[in-house]
Amino acid sequence: MKAIDKYLFQALDNYPYSLEETIESLDYAFSYDSKNTMILCLYGRIQAEQLMNYEEAKSYFQQALSINIHALEVYPYYLQTLIVNEDYEEAQKLIDFALTVKGINKSEIYIRKAILLEVQHKFKDALKEIKQAKLHSIQHDYDSGISEVEKRIKGKLDLLKKKKDKKTKKDSKKKSK
């Protein structure tokens, strides 16, 4: 095993529970190979998930993909960052491209697409993407994540339906007076 692998594994093992040790291990790994896409991806995740510095995170993800467009580990985190940062158009373009990348977990990408549609309040379209995620799922462990997103989106649809029903009842009461 190479020294870079040792430090990268330490960083992955420590994240997100020990950020100081994660950064220390990442910095050592980076000193061995500044073009390692997994290292850049983890730097990006730290920027997005811990520091909420989305522009910096995007920079790390872009750098990783410019080194290797087949860096499959980058796409889900990059997409999540774009969605949280409200870069919806950019996220949609990345989704469209990611679905063409050989070997990518399409189920995971369809989930991100559903989340993108969810934040745009396109709940029915989001549920269609959930269906695609289920159809492409080949990992039993991932099925529960799909179900959680689906449950959340259906809950939001129910909220809208209840709100609409309440308004309809109010309007009919006004008309009957």
Q: How far does Cα 84 stand from its chain's mean position? A: 9
**156 φ, ψ (degrees, to nearest 5):** -70, -40
What is the pTM (predicted TM-score) of this model? 0.90
Q: Which amino acid is at 123?
A: F
**Under CATH, which number does the domain 1-104 receive?**
1.25.40.10
- CA nearest to 113, candidates 126, 97, 124: 126
Q: How many CB atoms lie within 10 A of CB 81?
A: 25
Tens of pLDDT, residue by residue over 59-97, are 999 999 999 999 999 999 999 999 999 999 999 999 999
**pLDDT confidence tier of residue 177, bands split at 50, 70 and 90:** low
Number of other CB atoms surrounding residue 170 within 10 Å: 10
